[in-house]
Structure 1
Amino acid sequence: MPARPTARPRSCSRARLRLPVAGLAASAALAALVQPAQAAGTPKPPDKSLQKQLDDLVRTAGGPPGVIVTLRQGDRTKVYRAGVSDTSTGRPPHATDHMRIASVAKAFSGAVALRLVDRHQLDLDDTIGERLPSLPTAWHGVKLRQLLNHTSGLPDYSRAPAFLDILRQDPRHHFDSRRLLDFVADKDLEFPPGSAYAYSNSDNIAVALMAEAATGRPYERLLDRLVYRPLDLRQTTLPQGYRMPRPYLHGYDVTPPEPPEDISELIGASGVWASGGIVSTPKDLNAFVRAWAGGHDYLSEKTRRAQRTFIAGAASEPAGPGANAAGLAIFRYKTRCGTVFGHTGNTPGYSQFAAGTADGTRSLTFSITTQTSKTVKPDLLAKVRAVQEDFVCALLRH
C-alpha cells in the first residue's frame, strides 16, 4: 500500500472520500510499546492496564492503525503509544510527529480572541456588525462571546451543498479562507443569538476575522505572536495546502475488509482554516492545552472566569469523556475521577482530545489515526471515550 494518497489514482481516493467528507461536515470540515518522554525527574513506570487498552484499540475492527497519548504531571511526562505511525514502514508514533489537530484548532482561535480581550483590542460583547459590517445584516447582532461558545446561530458553511460539492470534486481545492462564510451568506441565523447551542464551524471563522479586523494583522501572524511564541510552540503551523510536515502521524480511512488507506494528505487545510486547519505535534499540543486550560499567567482572572462560564450538556465534536459542557472555546469534561478542561476534534484520518487541569499543572493529549464522531464510527467513539476517561483518571491520580 502506498504511503501517501498521491500515489493512488485520484478516482480511487475520491471514491473513498465519501465517508470522511461527511465527517468533515459534521466536525470541522476536513508494534505496541511504552516509552517515557525526556523530562525532568524520574517518571513512574507506565500503567500496564492503560497500555493494554491502547493495544486493544488498534486491534479493534475499524480502529486506528496508531494511537499516542502524552500525560504530563508537573515536570514529568509519560508517552503511551500503540500501533504504528505509518503502516508502510511500521514506524511507531512519536510525540514530535506532526498531525492534524482538527477542531482543537478552535481553542487556538479562542486563545487569540481572549488574549486580545485582555489587551482591550476586542471585547466579548463586540458584535459582528461592529467588527465585520460587510457580513450579512441578519448576523450583525451576534456577539464575540456567542461565537466562542457556539450560541451564535450562524449557519455552518461546512454543511453547505456548494462547499461539499467542491470538496467532492477536488479534495485539495484551495479556498479563500477569509471567504468561507460566503457559502452561507444568503442564510438567516438558525436561531436568535444566545438562545441555543449548536456547534458550528462558521463560528471560529468569524472569530478569526474579528481578530484581524480589530488588529489589522493576519490571523496567522496573531497566532504566532499570541500563541506560538509565548508558549514556545515550535512545530505548530496553520497551512493552506495539503502537505504534511515531516515526520508525521499518517491518518487513515479504515473501512474493513479493505486495508487502511492513507488519507493524510488527501484534503487541503484552506477549507477549514481557523476552525480546524492547524497542524501540531503531541508535544506542542500538550504545552498549549496546559496553558489554555489553566496556566495562571496566560489569561487574566476576569477573562478566565468568562472562559469558564459553561453551558451544561453542550458537547464538543466529537464528545469528550464524561459529562461535557461548553465554555468560550473550551469544554469542561466531568469524569468519575474529576474534571479537566480542553477540546476535541475529528477530521479525515485523525481524532483528537486535549485537556488539562484548572491549575495548569497536569495535561494530556490523546490522538488516534482514524476519524470517529457521533456520525462516523459511533461505536468506536464510545470505546475511545471510555479509554480517554481512564487516562484522565491516571492524569488526576496522585
Structure 2
Amino acid sequence: MQHPESSVAAPAVVAAPARPPARGRTRVRRAAVAVVAAAALAGALVPAAAASGGPDRSPGRDQALQRVLADLVGAPGGPPGAIAVLTRDGERQVYTAGTAEVGTRRVPRQDDHMRIASVAKAFSGAVALSLVDRRAIGLDDTIGQRLPQLPSGWHGVTLRQLLNHTSGLPDYSASEAFLEIIRADPRHRFDSRRLLDFVADQDLLFPPGSRYAYSNSDNIAVALMAEQATGQRYEQLLRELVHQPLGLRSTSLPQGYRLPVPFLHGYVVEPPDPPQDVSEAVSASGAWASGGVVSTPRDLTAFIRGYAGPELLSPRTRRQQQRFVPGGASEPAGPGANAAGLGIFRYTTRCGVVLGHTGNTAGYTQFAAATPDGRRSVTVSVSSQVTGDPALLARLRAAEERFVCALLRDR
C-alpha cells in the first residue's frame, strides 16, 4: 500500500474533490470543527438491502445481525454505509449495509481505508505500554521528568494519568484559537508536536488523579513522552512496536488530508440535504496521536485482538493496563457500562465484558473490542459521525451490544 503524503503516493490517491458550493463549504467547515472538537465536546443513496453483502460475505452469518446493521443505515439521518467484522475463535463473519461511496453500489469492504478517530488513542497506549514493557519509560514518570518544556503546573502529571484520562490537562481541541484555524482552513497543516501550545497558558482543570475527564491533549503528551524516552519519532515507534508485531499492513498516521485508495467514504448527513462527502476535508495533523490514524476493518480487527488480548504486552503490563476507573466513558460511549483503563476501555454489556475503544470524527464513527484472551473480536465502522443525534447514537450503541452478544455467545 502506498501512504498519503509520500513522494510516490500520487497514483494511489483519489484526486481532491471539486470545491463544493458555498453551502457545502459551510457544512464541511462545521464538520471539520467536529472532527477535532468531538472529544471536547453526492448522489442518491443505494438502499441498504440492495447494497449489502458483496465479496466480503461469509458463511454462517446471522441474519438478525445483518438486519440490525441495515436498520442502522436505513434510520432517519443514518450513515450511508456500515461494516462490522465479527471474529470468533478463528471464524470471521463480515456484515455490510449501504454503500462505500454515495452514488455507487460498491459495498464497504475489509480493506477499505478509513479514519479511525479516537481509536488512535489505543494505538498510542500500545506504544507507551510496549515501552513500559521494555523499561524505556515508567507509568509513574511525570511530564516534569520527560517534558520539562511544558508548563510547570503540569509537571506532576504521570504517564499513567495521561493514559487513563485523569491528568486534568486542558483539551487543546477545545481551544478557540485552534478552532478558528480549522474554521478558516480545515486542511491546515499543523505542527503536530506543538498542539499543546494552544493550551500552554492554562492551568490543570483538577488535581492529577482526582477524577476522570476525557481529553485529546492526553495522548499528544503520551506520544511526546514516548519520543523523549526513545529519541525516535512517534510514527516510527508505531511501526516498530505495533504495526510490525501485529502484522498491520494498511495502517498509517498521515499528516495531510488525503486517504489511500480504496477508502470508505465518510459523510455529513443532515436531511433533507444530500450526504456531503468529508472523507478528505480535514488534515490529520490536527489530531495526530489522539485521532489521526488511518486503518482498515481488517487491520483494526488484528490490532484490537492483539492489544486487548495477550499478544502485544506482558502479563505484568497488562495488569496495569486493566486497572479500570469506573464510569470513565470513551468518546463516544461504547455499549453497556464503560470504565477507563490505560489506553483501553472496559465495556460491561448484558452479555458480558469486552475491552476496546471507540472513536468519532467528521464522516466516521468507530467501535473496536475483543475478549481479554484475544480470541474473539468485533469492529463496527459507520460512515458518518452519529454523535450529534442522540437517538441515532443510542441505536448505534444498541447495535454494538447486539454484536458483542453474538461475539460472546456460548461463553
What interval of TM-score do these two structures reach, taking the shorter chain for normalisation?
A: over 0.9
SS state at 1:130 partner: helix
Q: Which amino acid aligns with 1:134?
A: Q
Q: CA distance change for structure 1 residues 4 and 367 in 2, over 3 Å: closer, same or farther?
A: farther
The answer (yes or no) to whether the contact 1:100–1:279 under 8 Å persists in 2 is yes
Q: Counterpart in 2 of 1:231?
A: 246
Q: Distance in 1 between matches of 2:106 and 2:220?
A: 36
- Out of 72, 81, 99, the residue aligned to residue 84 of structure 1 is 99
Q: Deviations over 1:4-33 (max 9, x none)?
A: 873133744431035424533443589343
Q: Deviations over 1:220-247 (max 9, x none)?
A: 0000000000001000000000001000
Give yes or no for the alignment of 1:269 onto 2:310. no
Q: Counterpart in 2 of 1:290?
A: 305
Q: Distance in 2 between matches of 1:377 and 1:344?
A: 17
Task: Quote how far apart the aligned CAs of 1:37 are.
Answer: 4.8
Q: Counterpart in 2 of 1:23?
A: 34
The answer (yes or no) to whether the contact 2:308–2:370 under 8 Å persists in 1 is yes
- Out of 53, 78, 87, the residue aligned to residue 34 of structure 1 is 53
TM score, norm. by length of structure 2? 0.92
Q: Counterpart in 2 of 1:353?
A: 367
Trace 1:297-316 onto structure 2 (pairs within 5 A): 297-316=311-330
Q: Distance in 2 between matches of 1:303 and 1:56?
A: 40
Q: Which amino acid aligns with 1:364?
A: V
Deviates more, 1:362-371 or 1:24-33: 24-33
Trace 1:1-398 onto structure 2 (pairs within 5 A): 6-9=17-20, 11-28=22-39, 31-34=50-53, 37=56, 45-294=60-309, 296-373=310-387, 376-398=388-410
SS state at 2:92 partner: strand
Q: Distance in 2 between matches of 1:395 and 1:107?
A: 21
Paired residues in the alignment total 389
The answer (yes or no) to whether the contact 2:82–2:380 under 8 Å persists in 1 is yes
Q: Counterpart in 1 of 2:6?
A: none
Q: Deviations over 1:58-112 (max 9, x none)?
A: 1111110000000111211110000000013221100000000000000000000
SS state at 2:359 partner: strand
TM score, norm. by length of structure 1? 0.95
Q: Deviations over 1:177-231 (max 9, x none)?
A: 0000000000000000000100000000000000000000000000000000000
Q: Which amino acid aligns with 1:348?
A: A
The answer (yes or no) to whether the contact 1:14–1:168 under 8 Å persists in 2 is no
RMSD: 1.7
The answer (yes or no) to whether the contact 2:255–2:283 under 8 Å persists in 1 is yes
Q: Distance in 1 between matches of 2:127 and 2:382?
A: 26
5+ residue gaps, structure 2: 1-13, 42-49
Q: Distance in 2 between matches of 1:262 and 1:24?
A: 14
Q: Percent identity?
A: 64
5+ residue gaps, structure 1: none
Deviates more, 1:51-60 or 1:139-148: 51-60
Q: Counterpart in 1 of 2:7?
A: none
SS state at 1:95 partner: coil
Task: Quote how far apart the aligned CAs of 1:36 are.
Answer: 7.9
